[in-house]
Structure 1
Amino acid sequence: MKTARFFLLFILSLVVVATGDVAAQQRVESGNAALHFGDSLSTSQRRAVRRASRRLLRMAEDTTLAGRADIVTDSVKNRPTAGKVGLVLAGGGAKGLYHIGVIKALEENEIPIDYVSGTSMGAIIGALYASGYTTDEMTAIVTSGKVEEWVSGKIDDRYKFFYTERQDVPSMFSVYMDVKRDSLHSRNTLDLALPHAFINTSQIDMALTELFAPATVASGGDFDRLMIPFRCIATDVNRHEAVKYDGGDLPFAVRASMSYPVLFRPVTDKQGRVLVDGGCYDNFPWRALEEDFSPSFLIGSQCLAENEPITQESSVEKQIMSLVTIPTDYSLPEGKGLIIKREVTASLLDFAGGLSTIQQGYDDALKAIPELKERITARRPQQEVERRREAFLERCPALEFSDLDVEGLNERQQQYARTFMNFEKRPLPDSVVVPTISFDEVRERYFTLMATNEFTTNAFPEVSYDSLRKDFRMRLNLSSKPGVKFLVGGNISSTVFNQIFLGFNHFRLGRTALTTYADIFLGPVSTVVRVGGRTGFMGRTPMYLDYSVQGSWQSNLRGSFGNVTPARNTIDARTIETYAHLGFGLATTRKSVLELSVNAGYNFYSYVESYDKPDVPSTHDWFRFAASRLQFQHSTLDKIAYPTRGGRFTASVIGVLGRDKYETAELFAQELRAQQSRKWVGAKLKWEHYPSNWRDWWFSVSYNIEAVYTNHPTFGNPYATILSSPRYTPLAHSQMLYMPEFYADRYAAVGVMPTFKMWPNFYLRAGVFAMLRDPIVADEYMHYMGDLSLVYHTPIGPVSLSVTKYNFDTKNNCYVMFNFGYPIFGSRGLYY
């Protein structure tokens, strides 16, 4: 009786499945354009029927085996199978690239892969394979350097608008603060805004969308209808349980599975579940395949060691992960599987060595091929795999977008964001053909917005497909970052040029972007206090209005900045500047700015003769001025200090008008002062370039060209004339010294800077610079300086050890200096 009921259930299930397939075929033939699920049953119903069928088949197999008591148990467990094969890919960060080599070896040896499951990095590789990517294409992605860019959390500089960056801020750390309203006490409070994660996932989110969104459409949101049926695992943080994904949005499922705690921000699904890395609860998800497909054989790919106990020598990352994970059982059902494994030595995000890791997986899989061929009799030629791949890819639509929605912002902020990304809000009637743009352009516009550092993502981008229009729409959920930011930075030096920088920024976003700031630079050589703001106007051509008030004090001592030769001619040349600034600029391109500005203020010059002439009094000069400048600037430099890529071109003209009130030693003795009007005009060209075509992996050459022409007048005494003149300072050290040899009304200069790359971010950089002053007004019109520096770029600032030599006639012409940070001076009220 039981046997009859069993066969009845089995026949009924086959009839239901066949009925659904016939109905689906009829709808396809009728030309139905609907995207979702062309079957008579819902997705969940079809999956339930499939699982029931598989269980019934498995029961039949078990019943048959139970009736054969003469079969030896071990023989049953290790018998060859011609059934379906499932591939299980473990998580492991960059170690998971091992799986690519395993898949490549299996395909080349015609071992079939009927189902695939993965967790974390295993989910990424498994989804790539299930979406039709070849192992060569996966390898190309790894070796292109894109993966390192995705996991860096940094938006590439090419997406940034140059005018939004403040080049004169030596910030090393920044802290955001939330302004919250205390309704009980009717006042605003500041709360520390801690980051959601250490790595910004904007790059990863866009990459996953590009890689997997077309596959979601091709499968109708059913992972059984991918090229290879696929499963991945995430972890529900609040319920402390594994979550299996068998359908839905493929990019989202992969993103949930790889959301490594602390490093990447968790994601929230439509059921409200907060999801993180599936490896926390199931890092080897063979059970997902067993439950849904009951494959006859399982192949596991394991790229990391078994669960290691934590010791006091374990890294912080391992200690934290041990607290939020449960041990994973890296074993397959006895007699039903084989694991290809190796303890890959790569670190979590070490994708640079990906090619070697892939090769290790390939080699290990080749060693397992003889045993796999003994235990799996089915074969799948590569031509058949390619036919399946081509058939699936034909169903994947082109990733073209007609619109982009922004949620989470108020109306004005949405308008600002859409305008910044050049997505004007417009109706989309069915009768109108809306022009589409490529995913590359969508990504560029999105990264351009995120590069402003004014927004953060609240959720994974949601992509939907319109089957009638044959295009996509993207929905972003953003929020503006906390409005208050404190900055800390400066420079630690072996010389007297030590400096502390403290900054305060407040940002408010509405129809315009309003930034106010206060900066303080404190040091024995240079002290600057600056208060100002900027109002940005978004449009086809971004514009801004700058305004600030600055006070600075600078003391230049010749011969006291790391000299290794005797110093006998110290001159204390002090400049105190106080001025107001107003500027209006246009962003002519993403990296170019045209600006017209006006400065008005007061300069005070003071200078003392050499210390071996104590009877000579100091002299002073007061100069009230108004100066204007029209400047064009284009910059693609990759760093504020010691750049290695890009270039910067500056062209400007200035005009200065002022009144010089001065005293000389003779006037000082008579307690008198003289005054006179001064005016001049000038022009300046500067080009600093690090050519990419002059570069090898270990060596590059860059150059610096600068030319200045002014009709700068002679002031009441020679020191004021020198200190108010343009000067050539291509090195940070040269800005610290009072060197009349490098001041001139008119000059042309050139520098060559060969750089030797010793390790990533570690360079030996040389520099030779020559300055030609106007020979008509200067007796010694050729001057030189040379520099040799070891530079290491840390995440918070550069570390450098430099030897600098000048062609002074005196002996104090060679200096040694160590710096950690950014040796930056305030801007000049007279421009140059």
Structure 2
Amino acid sequence: MADHSLHKSFVLLFLLVVVSLPALAQQGTALVLSGGGSRGMAHIGVIKALEENNIPIDYIAGTSIGAAVGAMYAAGFSPQEIEDIFTSEDFRRWIAGDLNRSYSWYYTSDLPDAGWIDLNLQFKNRFSKVLPSGVKTPVELDFQITRLLSDASAVAGYDFDNLMIPFRCVAADIDSSKALVLRHGDLARSVRASITFPFLFTPIKIDDRLLFDGGMYNNFPTDVVATDFSPALIIGSKVSGNYPKPSAEDVLSQVQNMLMSDTDFALDSAAGILLEPNLPKVNLTDFSLSKVFVQAGYDMAMQNMPQIKARIAGQRSAHHVDSLRRQFNARKQPYLIDSVIISGLKPSETEYVYRTLTHRKDKSTLDEISNQYFKLAADDKLKLNGNHLKLNPTTNLYDLYLDLHPANPFTLTLGGNISTRTANLAFAELNYRKLFREALRLKLNVYFGRFYTSALAGARFDFPGKIPFYAGGLIVYNHFDYFKSTIHFIEDVTPSFLIQNENFLDVYAGIPLTVNGRLEADFALGRVQNEYYQDNAFTRSDTADRTRFDFLQSSLCWELNSLNRKQYASAGARFKISTGMVWGDETFESGSLSSTRPSTGKFHRWAFVDLLWDDYFEKLGPVKFGFYGQIHLSNQELFSNYTSSLLAAPAFEPVPESKTMFLLNYRAFNYGAAGLKTVWSPTRNIDLRSEAYLFQPYRSIRKDADNLAYFGDPFDDRYWIFSSAIVYHTLLGPVSLSVNYFDNPEEKFFIGLNIGYIIFNKSILR
């Protein structure tokens, strides 16, 4: 009887275990976070609401921005810490691919030009001879993701199951055209792969596979958590949808549909709960509404909280979660870098990199090495494809791995300016870069326009080391035709025929002084030849007066520059002080209308000091203020006549349009100028600018009855410039509509629409 009872008990126990197996297999709550660009900020609000209401999050999977948010939570960041990072101005800059100005090594930068777009010339590949190089490598984003997540990877032993919360990340494998689930490896690189939207960021390789945004093939990985974790409940946060059918007129919609596969966003009510906050449509990279999206995600989770609580078996207090977080974070090691390991370069090229990094300490913190990292990123001879930190079990220190490649040797830059006035320019530049123990850059460029024509050939060598320096040379031809730069003349006051030709050879060398500064010495040899009539009563048969000035100049310049744009800047500062000497012979040849002597010659020698300060301050409310100041001092003497003296005088040109006109009131041998600027940016790409400047010459250059020049009384004259502009910053360059006022003898108000840059090649004496 006892044996029969025992047998019966075993049978009942076996049946109970069999019946319970499915329930035992399904345990815990999984959170799935979809892709969706900036709208993914709603995921943060969802996590915040779940944690506040003691809802356990046992597993996380995410795609694209969902992978980034989920990885942060799995790596031990609190919801508030995640929100603070993702809603910061710094994060917006990382996503935009813009470097913090404190990291932008001005020492390595080239002279500004009118370029819109850089094209890589691929001579080896006949299929694609010319490829745009405009896709950004988000250098600072890569660095910050590494800083935020690498220590958690090390704690987990590079196994995502061992993070504070088991995690899955979805990327797209282009070679197999399939979604790739990342379960182990470097957490930072996995997230970087998952957020790599095509044509926005450069892709990265993991295990020799080229990976892109996981949303291309699986934008809502509920199937991943079901397969890997078999949770009892899936909470899905959905902030995206499939793209609409392509339109014949909309090229972007066609590209999106070619790249992105449709995702099944349905979530069976038996398996889970779908949270779909109502969010406005915005650009993928527009994070201006981040806080709004966070709140929308929080509100949606709170609306569904009764339903969520009814579906979970038990709760986990926020205090308990915080305790787990502290325990996990306590195991993280501070970043001490032992070795820097370079891949992707030849031995001589690798030596160039190590010489660039040569003055780092044996054991550097990540902050200490960051300046050198961004110095490499700013070097246009190199392409930084990625980085990662890995804990070395032997040394118990981190090794920094840098994936570097030589930049494409040949690039073609195209640009210019399209104007409703006369500042129409076409610009093209061919660059060649070669990397070995040192670095070489060669360039040729041309400008064509009604007002301005120029050609330049240049070479520069960079020598890395404990005290890096560069040396180079330029040969430049500049031609300014002021006769064609003014639409009409109202009075016979300003000479209408003014042509200035400048040819020079410039040899220079420099060293860096701080991240944003450099000290440069140069020596120039050249000729300026001006052709002009000194009044407007000339005919086609008349010959113009000519002034030729053969010169030597030596100068020393210290410059700090952190301005955020090469034209229409709205942040940063520029400080420049230069001093030098000029020696030269002036030769004047009179034309058919000249009343002065047929020809004269004169030797000139003068010293000069020029001080410039251009600074944008922090915002006061929605408006940013700026200050501009300039002082030019010299002992320069007058030339042989009034017009040649004006052409030889430095010009005050604080706004782009002033560079295209011969404004005689803003030229002097000694002057001071100051201005105030306001910039209001209703969106990231639109600026409304207002600027006012006062120009104070020490002694104005004046004309007597014989067209000879003489100095006016000290501080007798002063002139104003007022400018207002609406500027839209496109990917190619600025589009501006401006109204300018100049204290001009004839026209005072100028209205113009410009598309592009009013930037010229270097000039020595202009």
TM-score for the superposition, normalised by structure 1: 0.82
Which residue is 2:628 aligned to? Answer: 704
Assess, with a 3 A threshold, how the Cα gap between structure 1 residues 193 and 210 changes in structure 2: closer, same or farther.
Answer: farther
Which residue is 2:377 aligned to? Answer: 450
C-alpha deviations, 1:669-713, integer Å up to 9, x for none?
A: 999533232222222222222223xx3243233222222222222
Which residue is 1:73 aligned to? Answer: none
C-alpha distance in 1, partners of 2:189/2:609? 55
Report if aligned partners of 2:113, 2:760 keep a CA contact under 8 Å in 1: no
Cα deviation, residue 547, structure 1: 0.8
Structure 2 residue 661 is the aligned partner of structure 1 residue 737: yes
Structure 2 residue 132 is the aligned partner of structure 1 residue 198: no
Structure 2 residue 204 is the aligned partner of structure 1 residue 287: no
Assess, with a 3 A threshold, how the Cα gap between structure 1 residues 395 and 177 changes in structure 2: closer, same or farther.
Answer: same
C-alpha distance in 2, partners of 1:486/1:332? 50
Which residue is 2:706 aligned to? Answer: none
Give me the identity figure in percent: 28
C-alpha distance in 1, partners of 2:667/2:209? 66
C-alpha distance in 2, partners of 1:485/1:561? 36
1:461 aligned counterpart, secondary structure: strand
Which residue is 2:736 aligned to? Answer: 800
Cα deviation, residue 551, structure 1: 1.6
Cα deviation, residue 487, structure 1: 1.2
C-alpha distance in 1, partners of 2:652/2:658? 8
Assess, with a 3 A threshold, how the Cα gap between structure 1 residues 753 and 301 changes in structure 2: closer, same or farther.
Answer: closer
C-alpha deviations, 1:755-802, integer Å up to 9, x for none?
A: 344443333323332233334931483131322221312222222223
C-alpha distance in 2, partners of 1:63/1:785? 83
Letter in 2 for 1:203: E
C-alpha deviations, 1:305-337, integer Å up to 9, x for none?
A: 4x4651527965554343344433333455232
Cα deviation, residue 180, structure 1: 4.1
Report if aligned partners of 1:500, 1:521 keep a CA contact under 8 Å in 2: yes
* Aligned match for 2:391, one of 465, 469, 475: 465
Segment drifting more, 199-208 vs 497-506: 199-208
C-alpha distance in 2, partners of 1:489/1:665? 38
Q: How does 1:622-701 map to 2 (within 5 A)?
A: 622-664=548-590, 672-692=598-618, 695-701=619-625
C-alpha distance in 2, partners of 1:365/1:755? 40
Assess, with a 3 A threshold, how the Cα gap between structure 1 residues 58 and 470 changes in structure 2: closer, same or farther.
Answer: farther
2:113 aligned counterpart, secondary structure: coil
Assess, with a 3 A threshold, how the Cα gap between structure 1 residues 763 and 124 changes in structure 2: closer, same or farther.
Answer: closer
Segment drifting more, 126-135 vs 313-322: 313-322
Letter in 2 for 1:599: A
Which residue is 1:410 aligned to? Answer: 346
Structure 2 residue 751 is the aligned partner of structure 1 residue 816: yes
Report if aligned partners of 1:457, 1:477 keep a CA contact under 8 Å in 2: yes
Which residue is 2:319 aligned to? Answer: 383
Assess, with a 3 A threshold, how the Cα gap between structure 1 residues 213 and 342 changes in structure 2: closer, same or farther.
Answer: same
Assess, with a 3 A threshold, how the Cα gap between structure 1 residues 620 and 57 changes in structure 2: closer, same or farther.
Answer: farther
Which residue is 1:40 aligned to? Answer: none
Letter in 2 for 1:202: V
Assess, with a 3 A threshold, how the Cα gap between structure 1 residues 463 and 636 changes in structure 2: closer, same or farther.
Answer: closer
C-alpha deviations, 1:386-411, integer Å up to 9, x for none?
A: 11111111122122212211111112
Which residue is 1:71 aligned to? Answer: none
Which residue is 1:602 aligned to? Answer: 527
* Aligned match for 1:209, one of 109, 121, 146: 146
C-alpha distance in 2, partners of 1:559/1:123? 55
C-alpha distance in 2, partners of 1:383/1:667? 93
Which residue is 2:46 aligned to? Answer: 102
C-alpha distance in 2, partners of 1:542/1:94? 41
Which residue is 1:579 aligned to? Answer: 504
C-alpha deviations, 1:535-557, integer Å up to 9, x for none?
A: 11112232111211112221224
Structure 2 residue 477 is the aligned partner of structure 1 residue 551: yes
C-alpha distance in 2, partners of 1:208/1:359? 24
Q: How does 1:171-320 map to 2 (within 5 A)?
A: 171-180=115-124, 192=129, 194=131, 198-270=135-207, 272-305=208-241, 307=242, 309-312=244-247, 316-320=251-255
Letter in 1 for 2:688: L
TM-score for the superposition, normalised by structure 2: 0.89
C-alpha distance in 1, partners of 2:488/2:300? 58
Which residue is 2:111 aligned to? Answer: 167
Which residue is 2:707 aligned to? Answer: none
Report if aligned partners of 1:490, 1:499 keep a CA contact under 8 Å in 2: yes
Assess, with a 3 A threshold, how the Cα gap between structure 1 residues 327 and 774 changes in structure 2: closer, same or farther.
Answer: closer
Letter in 2 for 1:137: E
Assess, with a 3 A threshold, how the Cα gap between structure 1 residues 59 and 224 changes in structure 2: closer, same or farther.
Answer: farther
C-alpha distance in 1, partners of 2:119/2:403? 23
Which residue is 1:721 aligned to? Answer: 645
1:358 aligned counterpart, secondary structure: helix
Structure 2 residue 712 is the aligned partner of structure 1 residue 778: yes
Letter in 2 for 1:286: T
Cα deviation, residue 616, structure 1: 7.6
C-alpha distance in 2, partners of 1:719/1:670? 12
Segment drifting more, 503-512 vs 160-169: 160-169
Report if aligned partners of 1:663, 1:716 keep a CA contact under 8 Å in 2: no
C-alpha distance in 2, partners of 1:300/1:654? 68
Which residue is 2:518 aligned to? Answer: 593
Segment drifting more, 224-233 vs 198-207: 198-207
* Aligned match for 1:505, one of 411, 425, 431: 431
Which residue is 2:95 aligned to? Answer: 151
Quote the RMSD (CA, aligned, Å): 3.2
Letter in 1 for 2:20: E
1:194 aligned counterpart, secondary structure: strand
Report if aligned partners of 1:178, 1:483 keep a CA contact under 8 Å in 2: no
Letter in 2 for 1:708: H
C-alpha distance in 1, partners of 2:672/2:42? 57
2:353 aligned counterpart, secondary structure: helix
1:198 aligned counterpart, secondary structure: coil
Assess, with a 3 A threshold, how the Cα gap between structure 1 residues 350 and 756 changes in structure 2: closer, same or farther.
Answer: closer
The structure with the larger Rg is 1
C-alpha distance in 1, partners of 2:234/2:545? 89
Assess, with a 3 A threshold, how the Cα gap between structure 1 residues 397 and 327 changes in structure 2: closer, same or farther.
Answer: same
Which residue is 2:441 aligned to? Answer: 515
C-alpha deviations, 1:22-43, integer Å up to 9, x for none?
A: xxxxxxxxxxxxxxxxxxxxxx
C-alpha distance in 2, partners of 1:58/1:107? 33
Structure 2 residue 63 is the aligned partner of structure 1 residue 126: no
Cα deviation, residue 163, structure 1: 3.3
1:782 aligned counterpart, secondary structure: coil
Assess, with a 3 A threshold, how the Cα gap between structure 1 residues 133 and 315 changes in structure 2: closer, same or farther.
Answer: farther
Which residue is 1:74 aligned to? Answer: none
Cα deviation, residue 566, structure 1: 6.1
Number of residue pairs the alignment of both structures matches: 743
Which residue is 2:28 aligned to? Answer: 84
Structure 2 residue 328 is the aligned partner of structure 1 residue 328: no
C-alpha deviations, 1:445-484, integer Å up to 9, x for none?
A: 22221122332244x4242212453321011121111111
C-alpha distance in 2, partners of 1:748/1:98? 53
Structure 2 residue 705 is the aligned partner of structure 1 residue 768: no
Cα deviation, residue 571, structure 1: 2.8
Cα deviation, residue 141, structure 1: 0.7
Letter in 1 for 2:759: I
Which residue is 1:31 aligned to? Answer: none
Report if aligned partners of 1:155, 1:450 keep a CA contact under 8 Å in 2: no
C-alpha distance in 1, partners of 2:286/2:762? 41
Structure 2 residue 677 is the aligned partner of structure 1 residue 753: yes
Report if aligned partners of 2:451, 2:485 keep a CA contact under 8 Å in 1: no
Q: How does 1:365-380 map to 2 (within 5 A)?
A: 365-380=301-316
C-alpha deviations, 1:581-624, integer Å up to 9, x for none?
A: 11122222222222221111222122113334659853212222
Assess, with a 3 A threshold, how the Cα gap between structure 1 residues 322 and 742 changes in structure 2: closer, same or farther.
Answer: closer
Cα deviation, residue 363, structure 1: 0.8
Segment drifting more, 128-137 vs 722-731: 722-731
C-alpha distance in 1, partners of 2:579/2:22? 93
Letter in 1 for 2:724: S
Cα deviation, residue 175, structure 1: 0.8
Assess, with a 3 A threshold, how the Cα gap between structure 1 residues 314 and 84 changes in structure 2: closer, same or farther.
Answer: farther
C-alpha distance in 1, partners of 2:556/2:32? 64
Give unmatched runs, 5+ long, in structure 2. Answer: 1-6, 701-710
Which residue is 1:113 aligned to? Answer: 57
Give unmatched runs, 5+ long, in structure 1. Answer: 12-55, 66-80, 182-188, 425-433
Which residue is 1:44 aligned to? Answer: none
